[in-house]
Structure 1
Amino acid sequence: MSDGTMRGQVLLLLLVLSLGSALGQVSYSIPEEMPRGSLVGNMAKDFGLDVKRLKSGKARIFTPDSEEYIELNNERGVLLIKNRIDREALCGQTTPCALHFQIILDNPMEFYSVTIEITDVNDNPPSFEKNEVRFKISESAASGAKFILDRAIDPDVGSNGLQTYKLEPRNNFIIKLHDQADGTKNVEMVLEKPLDREKHEQLSLVLTAVDGGEPQMTGTMQILITVLDANDNAPVFTQPVYKASIKENSPIGTVVIRVAASDADDGNNGKITYSISSISDNARGVFEMNDESGEIGLKGNIDYEKARTFQINVRASDDGGLVDSCKVMIDVTDMNDNEPDIYIMSKSNVISENAKPGTVVTMINIKDADSGENGKVHCTLNNNIPFVMKSTNNDFYSLVTDSELDREMTSEYNITVMCSDEGVPSLSSSVTLTLQISDVNDNAPVFERSSYEAYIVENNTPGLSIFTVKARDADWNQNARVSYILEDSSVNGVPVSSYVSVSADSGVIQAMRSFDYEQIKHFHFSVKAQDGGSPPLSSNVTVTILIQDQNDNPPQVLYPVQTGGSVVGEMVPRSADVGYLVSKVVAVDVDSGQNAWLSYKLQKATDRALFEVGLQNGEIRTIRQVTDKDPVNQKLTVIVEDNGQPSRSATVVVNVAVADSFSEVMSEFTDFKQDKEYNDNLTFYLVLALAVVSFLFITCLVVIISVKIYRWRQSRVLYHSNLPVIPYYPPRYSDTLGGTGTLQHVYNYEVCRTTDSRKSDCKFGRAGSQNVLIMDPSSTGTMQRIQSEKNILDEPDSPLEVRMF
């Protein structure tokens, strides 16, 4: 397109003062070779436009291409053929072949994209570059020998293109086709039956190329074969595929690559001649080969934008008729020889400052004929302007607003669009646009921070000022007067206004109640800043209040539990070693952090030299060997302190019984009687329990004796044991729950005797999960009854098994 034409087109588009972007796209499909004036499609109907709109909007076709094939009839709203379209000349072998252009309308400005696909018709027959080709083939050539043939060219594509080959006659040779990476097929003539020079010295074959059109079209090439005497060594290329690259715009005569083959024969049979057996369509007339040196040189001009790769099949033959072939792949390296082209499709000269971000200001079409990095275009704008470039469709860009405009700061913008490619060296082009800004009121208050956080210590005084939020408004006078409002919300179902308040003038936030860290640790709310404009503008900010903990809760002892009527104790055997775990004090603190860090100390003890308490874990252990002189009753007072400032504490009393047997503990009940209150309810339950146990014991005893007598009478065997019952007391009442020191509340007593043993055992055991003694002064009578029942057990030959709870 000439400079004058482009300037005229730009001046026409600049007449539009307002822009309305309504993008649409439609596609048509037409065959090639249609006569001028033929109908392509009803554009007005397909886009839903009225013909009057086409006239009022001065509808026109926009395309940067130099040749136009389509014209727009505004009277009818249809697209017509303007010039004859030859698909092969327009696109070559590229499929699909299509024309792309835009239809521009003004007032408001709109553009629509149109794609017209050009379909192929079978108007070209296949053709060979040569009418005939000659081969010299030795009669000693083995079956399977391959000979590369020139492939036919058919400019048509798809089913109209070249489909297959036929070889006549087929007495000695057949045809094989091999698909190539570029979609073409290499043609090989393969020797199927050996040649006999004595029968046929010359062979004449016809190779026919057939396309798939209707009707079919063909092309032929004659193959003349001279049968030679035996030549037992064929040329061999050093490699089957050669690869080379050449820069576009390289001068004619440039050597691209040199192929080499060797032949082990001597004389004429070893003399190698190089030739091009077949070549891709885009390489015809571009390369030539030196038949002696094997060099492939540049014969014509190379343009990367037209062809990026070439394929050449090279044949090496000796005078004996044996040949070898190789493939040469030549890649064209792109040179950055095209600068980006900028086309202004439409633009606005004035825009309001309240235009929303994303408002289209100008539509631009940018193209770079190069490819790869050389064809990658980046467009930039001059700094400090609220506009950006956005890609809308392929090479089409829109200049849009990126943020809100402010005429009080800038009333006019000179926008320079600079487009550069990534080539080395980079090529660039630019255009400058002028845009006026019309004024509106558009400034809202802005907080100094995006969010606020404040801390307040629990147990605060209601009405305490926590902190201040601050917002500023860039407007003037009444529009800049800011008021602060607490947004309605709730905290744990309670309105936030019962927690805090906000001063409308100063933005000071005050506490409306005293906070408790153990009840609520943090909460958030929103504050709105509203100016005095009409209509008013406002903005919100999130405020988070974090409650800080105070040491306002003492530790709470979970174990041992202090009861009012009983003395909860632990039992330590006199055989306990140093470090024996007696019990463990467990406490918690509902405060957090270091206010909840607990330490344990032994405050008072009957014998401080006997026990110690773990500072961190509250474990009570012996610090020396227990002796017989140590009193049975040991009373320990443990204090639990937290790490707060000031520290808070709690105390717990632990009673420890130092004894090897339960009877020894019970003998000391009189000592406990002096310190504990009498509990009538507990005595009643103990007496009732012992009565029930006694009844069950006697019942079991009678049943066991009856069973034993019955068995004795049946077996006639009776064995009496006169040895008295030897009571056995466990030496230690140690903790069975992993060393936690938790004594169990119930003991189990088990008495066992047998008739077939000279030894009788009376075992007092305990359940695996219970070892706490409930000691009450009122249990003296109960212990006497237990002693009387024990006398019954001392009677010899009493087979019984009793378990007491």
Structure 2
Amino acid sequence: MVFIQVKPMVTYKESGTTVMRMTAHDADDTNTNNAVLRYSITKQTPETPSPNMFYIDPEKGDIVTVVPPTTLDRETLEVCKYELIVEAKDMAGSDVGLTGTATATIIIDDKNDHAPVFTKSMFQATVTEGFTGIIVNLTVEDNDDPATGAGRAVFTIINGNPDRNFKIETNPKTNEGMLFVDKSLDYERSAFHTLLIKVENEDPIMPEISYGPSSTTTVQVTVADANEPPIFNPDPTNVVKPENIPIGTVIVTVNATDQDILQKQKIKFAQFQDPAGWLTINPTNGTVTTRAALDRESPYAHDSQYTALFLATDDGFPVATGTGTLIITMMDVNDNPPSVYPTVAMFCEDSKDLNVAVLGATDKDLKPNADPFKFQLSKQPGIDKTWKVTQINSTHAQLSLLHSLKRANYNLPIVVTDGGNPPLTNSTDVLVQVCSCKKNKMDCSTANSLHTSTKLLLISVITLFWHT
């Protein structure tokens, strides 16, 4: 019995090239003619362009080509796949020998033996300035298989693109070169562009083939003028001003230029976004002035900055509008008095207990217009006989009860002054609740009711202060 194995194919190069080896096995004694094998091709499918395009070495089983490379040119063949029925016979191939058969499949692979060529020596395109996208498809012809690296086109811009306004890619479906405007063109800078583009294949071309003049083409790009919007310069415009400057103060004069330098156009300015309504702009010259006081502490300001947007519109056809940003950084002015917190404090009626409360102050202004704060009792007669205010640090003070008081609610005016120049002072009435304190429990039932969460907060503040 004869069994045949097929060795993998190799690429066909020239006449006499071994493309495949067939190996047969016989279970008979190898020292007898019963295991001596001979190979032959019994059928070739298809039989064109010749019925005997391949030969098999009868002893080795090597299949070789017997026609010149031009006969097996993939671009001229009707089919690129051949099937050979190979027979192996023992008894050294005698008529009485036993046989086995196998099918050998040979595929004519593509080689890059055709250079791609452009269908035109020059392509033309017109594009409006400001446009980005595909402007022309560059068509090529290549007799190699477009599904292989031998036929797939690779395009390169080799001249005329110093600012990299253009780029080119291969359309995978059509094998065309898609020429893009990647960075918009400026008519005023250049109305015409001439590009030199070459095409090659992904695979290296065969040594005997070369890329000729037809593998390059010229693309002439004409740029059409368009009305472009004015541009603010600089953008954003940054200025620094004190808050609370007088109404009508000039903030800045914004500048906008028309990109269409070949046209004489007039520019008008207008407000676009002014969230707080603090500003106004002269439509002719772009001068921005205040129509309300700037307030650094306003909810419209963020990190001491206020942002407004303005428009610059030309009188072209159609009209074009540009947007500019104004950022005002406001310097702090001492225009907010400090305030005391908390506004409720609790004490025990028994003066033998430690009766203190911690008061703090806040100010919307920044240093040095905020802390250090100065805490004082109001100038009411006799108030200093019962209460004492002692400074703890730049932001907090201690309120002490000097002798026993009956259970009740008391309004205690606390005066706090900030560190601004000139300083601002504010008087805050602190509600003092004198409560009954027994066995570490505070009973304020005789005093007016107070929200439980506020009581707990005040007790926590006092406890935290004395344990730190």
Task: Indicate if the aligned counterparts of 2:6 and 2:23 stay in contact, CA closer than 8 A.
Answer: no
**Shift, 1:341, TM fit:** 2.5
Structure 2 equivalent of residue 653 of structure 1: 399
Structure 2 equivalent of residue 341 of structure 1: 117
Determine helix, strand or coil for the equivalent of 2:119: strand
Task: Please show how residues 569-580 of structure 1 align to structure 2 within 5 Å.
Answer: none
Task: Indicate if the aligned counterparts of 1:446 and 1:472 stay in contact, CA closer than 8 A.
Answer: yes
Task: Please show how residues 539-550 of structure 1 align to structure 2 within 5 Å.
Answer: 539-545=322-328
Within the candidate set 1, 7, 14, 1:251 is matched to 14
CA distance in 2, matches of 1:551, 1:330: 93
Structure 1 equivalent of residue 149 of structure 2: 373
Task: Please show how residues 288-327 of structure 1 align to structure 2 within 5 Å.
Answer: 288-300=55-67, 301=69, 302-305=72-75, 314-319=86-91
Within the candidate set 258, 271, 274, 1:487 is matched to 271
CA distance in 2, matches of 1:401, 1:770: 69
Task: Please show how residues 363-762 of structure 1 align to structure 2 within 5 Å.
Answer: 364-370=138-144, 371=146, 372-381=148-157, 382-384=159-161, 394-395=174-175, 403=184, 406=187, 409-410=189-190, 412-425=192-205, 427=211, 429-432=215-218, 442=227, 444-448=229-233, 451-452=235-236, 454=238, 456=240, 459-462=243-246, 463=248, 465-467=250-252, 469-476=254-261, 479=264, 483-489=267-273, 491=275, 498-504=277-283, 507-512=286-291, 513-522=293-302, 524-531=307-314, 537-545=320-328, 558-559=341-342, 561-562=343-344, 567=347, 585=358, 589=362, 591=364, 637=390, 639=392, 641=394, 649-653=395-399, 671-673=403-405, 733=440, 744-745=442-443
CA distance in 2, matches of 1:285, 1:584: 113
Determine helix, strand or coil for the equivalent of 1:373: coil
Determine helix, strand or coil for the equivalent of 2:114: coil
CA distance in 1, matches of 2:221, 2:137: 14
Task: Indicate if the aligned counterparts of 1:640 and 1:651 stay in contact, CA closer than 8 A.
Answer: yes
Label 1:405 to 1:467 Cα distance change in 2 as closer, same or farther (>3 A). closer
Task: Indicate if the aligned counterparts of 2:270 and 2:312 stay in contact, CA closer than 8 A.
Answer: no
Task: Indicate if the aligned counterparts of 1:598 and 1:640 stay in contact, CA closer than 8 A.
Answer: no
- Whose Rg is larger? 1
- Amino acid in the other structure paired with 2:279: V
Task: Indicate if the aligned counterparts of 1:557 and 1:587 stay in contact, CA closer than 8 A.
Answer: yes
Determine helix, strand or coil for the equivalent of 1:269: helix
CA distance in 2, matches of 1:515, 1:296: 94
CA distances 1:299-327 after superposition (whole Å, capped 9, x unpaired): 33434556666665655443386666666
CA distance in 1, matches of 2:259, 2:456: 78
CA distances 1:33-71 after superposition (whole Å, capped 9, x unpaired): xxxxxxxxxxxxxxxxxxxxxxxxxxxxxxxxxxxxxxx
CA distances 1:353-380 after superposition (whole Å, capped 9, x unpaired): 8688479986643232334233221334
CA distance in 2, matches of 1:322, 1:570: 126
Q: Normalization by structure 1: what TM-score?
A: 0.38
Task: Indicate if the aligned counterparts of 1:556 and 1:650 stay in contact, CA closer than 8 A.
Answer: no
Task: Indicate if the aligned counterparts of 1:555 and 1:640 stay in contact, CA closer than 8 A.
Answer: no
Label 1:324 to 1:437 Cα distance change in 2 as closer, same or farther (>3 A). same
Task: Indicate if the aligned counterparts of 2:170 and 2:178 stay in contact, CA closer than 8 A.
Answer: yes
Task: Indicate if the aligned counterparts of 1:338 and 1:369 stay in contact, CA closer than 8 A.
Answer: yes
Structure 2 equivalent of residue 211 of structure 1: none
- Amino acid in the other structure paired with 2:90: D
Task: Indicate if the aligned counterparts of 1:557 and 1:650 stay in contact, CA closer than 8 A.
Answer: no
CA distance in 2, matches of 1:253, 1:445: 74
Structure 1 equivalent of residue 424 of structure 2: none
Structure 2 equivalent of residue 762 of structure 1: none
- Amino acid in the other structure paired with 1:446: I
CA distance in 1, matches of 2:189, 2:457: 86
CA distance in 2, matches of 1:243, 1:570: 107
Task: Indicate if the aligned counterparts of 2:269 and 2:284 stay in contact, CA closer than 8 A.
Answer: no
Q: Normalization by structure 2: what TM-score?
A: 0.59
Considering Cα pairs closer than 8 Å and 6+ residues apart, tell me whether 1 or 2 has the greater RCO: 2
Label 1:413 to 1:264 Cα distance change in 2 as closer, same or farther (>3 A). same
CA distance in 2, matches of 1:541, 1:251: 71
Label 1:369 to 1:466 Cα distance change in 2 as closer, same or farther (>3 A). farther
Amino-acid identity (%) = 21
Q: Which runs of 5+ in 1 are unaligned?
A: 1-233, 575-581, 604-632, 642-648, 657-670, 681-689, 691-728, 734-742, 748-768, 774-805
**Shift, 1:295, TM fit:** 0.8
**Shift, 1:474, TM fit:** 4.6
Determine helix, strand or coil for the equivalent of 1:527: strand
Task: Indicate if the aligned counterparts of 1:376 and 1:421 stay in contact, CA closer than 8 A.
Answer: yes
Structure 1 equivalent of residue 420 of structure 2: none
- Amino acid in the other structure paired with 1:500: L
CA distance in 2, matches of 1:569, 1:421: 99
Task: Indicate if the aligned counterparts of 1:275 and 1:315 stay in contact, CA closer than 8 A.
Answer: yes
Task: Indicate if the aligned counterparts of 2:160 and 2:193 stay in contact, CA closer than 8 A.
Answer: no
CA distance in 1, matches of 2:38, 2:316: 93
CA distances 1:315-342 after superposition (whole Å, capped 9, x unpaired): 5443386666666565655432111132
- Amino acid in the other structure paired with 1:473: D
**Shift, 1:254, TM fit:** 0.8
Q: Name the stretch that deviates more: 381-390 or 524-533.
A: 381-390
CA distance in 2, matches of 1:746, 1:347: 95
CA distance in 2, matches of 1:427, 1:286: 32
- Amino acid in the other structure paired with 1:342: F
CA distance in 1, matches of 2:329, 2:107: 68
**Shift, 1:293, TM fit:** 0.3
Task: Please show how residues 46-195 of structure 1 align to structure 2 within 5 Å.
Answer: none
CA distances 1:250-286 after superposition (whole Å, capped 9, x unpaired): 1110112334344342212211233457766499754
- Amino acid in the other structure paired with 1:299: V
CA distance in 1, matches of 2:349, 2:99: 111
CA distance in 1, matches of 2:340, 2:300: 24
CA distances 1:406-434 after superposition (whole Å, capped 9, x unpaired): 2x654655443432222225846123355
Determine helix, strand or coil for the equivalent of 1:520: coil
CA distance in 2, matches of 1:282, 1:634: 121
**Shift, 1:396, TM fit:** 5.2
Task: Indicate if the aligned counterparts of 1:562 and 1:568 stay in contact, CA closer than 8 A.
Answer: no
Label 1:474 to 1:489 Cα distance change in 2 as closer, same or farther (>3 A). closer
CA distance in 1, matches of 2:356, 2:113: 92
Structure 2 equivalent of residue 272 of structure 1: 37
**Shift, 1:288, TM fit:** 2.8
Label 1:489 to 1:746 Cα distance change in 2 as closer, same or farther (>3 A). same
- Higher percent of residues as strand: 2
**Shift, 1:435, TM fit:** 6.6
**Shift, 1:601, TM fit:** 12
Label 1:602 to 1:487 Cα distance change in 2 as closer, same or farther (>3 A). closer
CA distances 1:703-755 after superposition (whole Å, capped 9, x unpaired): xxxxxxxxxxxxxxxxxxxxxxxxxx95xx3xxxxxxxxx85459xxxxxxxx
Structure 1 equivalent of residue 432 of structure 2: none
- Higher percent of residues as helix: 1
Determine helix, strand or coil for the equivalent of 2:118: strand
